[in-house]
Each structure stands twice: as structure tokens, then as C-alpha cells.
């Protein structure tokens, strides 16, 4: 995975995911995000692939952007088209997905821990807090 910074869209996987979100019809965009969450939460205690985790984090950032206190997604690597109002029901699913990303065994968590980048975990926890409080 090509990664250039710690943000939700600062990697090749999330940038590619943004393209898939843009290609989905407006009425299906929430389904694309929900599917990304489901792939992560559906792993249970099995090893979580970093690509699935990166897509879930990008999805969570898109949901959090519509929450009070959420940061807008302004990066060139995020979706180009504005998202419709997303169902509030995505928020608890996003929280569960982020919890799974931050729980072993998680390849993305391991990669960031090997790099000693606590800021990445702080950013994911901030997304989680925005979603949980909304």
C-alpha cells in the first residue's frame, strides 16, 4: 500500500475507494460505505487486511464529515462528488468498524505501530469520537 501521510485518504487504497464511491449512484453511496464497514466488522477475531481497514477508515471519515464536529473531506484523494445526506444508522456501524481496525489482529494497526506513529491512532480515535457523539 502506498501511504504518504496519516489522514483517512492519504493512501492508495482509500483514493481508489473514493473513485468507487464516486461511481456509485447517489442512492447507493451509503451502501458502498456500509459494505466497507461490514467487511471489517465481519472478520470477527480473524486477521484484518490493511486494505479493508483503510477503506473502513475512509468510509468513517465520510460519515463523520456530516456529523457535528466532523471535519469536511477536502483532500483531492477523497470523492469528487458531494455525498447525499447519509443515514444516521451508519454511525454506530462506523464506530464498530473503527474499533475493529484498532484491535489486534489488524494489519494496518501493526504497520502503524511498527512505524511508531501514534498520531495515526489519535486520528482514528478522533473519527470514532465524532461518530459516537453524534
Q: Give, as one character, the DSSP assignment of residue 106.
A: B
Beta bridge partners of 48: 106
Residue 79 covered by a domain: yes
- Write out pLDDT tens, residues 24-37: 999 999 999 999 99
Residue 34 covered by a domain: yes
Residue 76 covered by a domain: yes
Distance CA 28, CA 114 (A): 37
Neighbours of 124 (CB within 10 A): 24
- Write out pLDDT tens, residues 52-90: 999 999 999 999 999 999 999 999 999 999 999 999 999
Residue 7 covered by a domain: no
Average pLDDT, the chain: 95
Residue 4 covered by a domain: no
- Write down the pLDDT at residue 116: 80
Residue 124 covered by a domain: yes
pLDDT above 70 coverage of the chain, percent = 99
When divided into structural domains, the chain yields a total of 1
Burial (CB < 10 A; 0-12, 13-18, 19+), residue 116, is exposed
Residue 41 covered by a domain: yes
37 lies in which domain range?
A: 12-133
Residue 1 covered by a domain: no
Q: What is the mean pLDDT of residues 99-123?
A: 93
Amino acid at each position: 500500500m502506498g501511504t504518504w501521510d496519516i489522514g483517512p485518504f492519504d493512501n492508495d487504497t482509500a483514493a481508489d475507494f473514493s473513485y468507487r464511491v464516486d461511481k456509485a449512484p447517489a442512492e447507493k453511496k451509503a451502501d458502498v460505505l456500509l459494505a466497507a464497514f461490514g467487511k471489517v466488522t465481519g472478520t470477527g477475531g480473524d486477521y484484518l487486511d490493511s486494505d479493508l481497514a483503510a477503506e473502513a477508515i475512509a468510509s468513517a471519515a465520510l460519515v463523520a464529515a456530516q456529523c457535528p464536529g466532523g471535519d469536511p473531506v477536502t483532500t483531492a484523494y477523497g470523492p469528487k462528488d458531494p455525498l447525499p445526506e447519509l443515514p444516521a444508522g451508519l454511525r454506530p456501524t462506523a464506530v464498530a468498524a473503527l474499533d475493529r481496525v484498532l484491535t489486534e489482529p489488524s494489519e494496518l494497526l501493526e504497520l502503524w505501530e511498527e512505524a511508531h506513529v501514534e498520531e495515526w491512532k489519535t486520528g482514528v480515535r478522533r473519527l470514532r469520537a465524532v461518530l459516537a457523539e453524534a
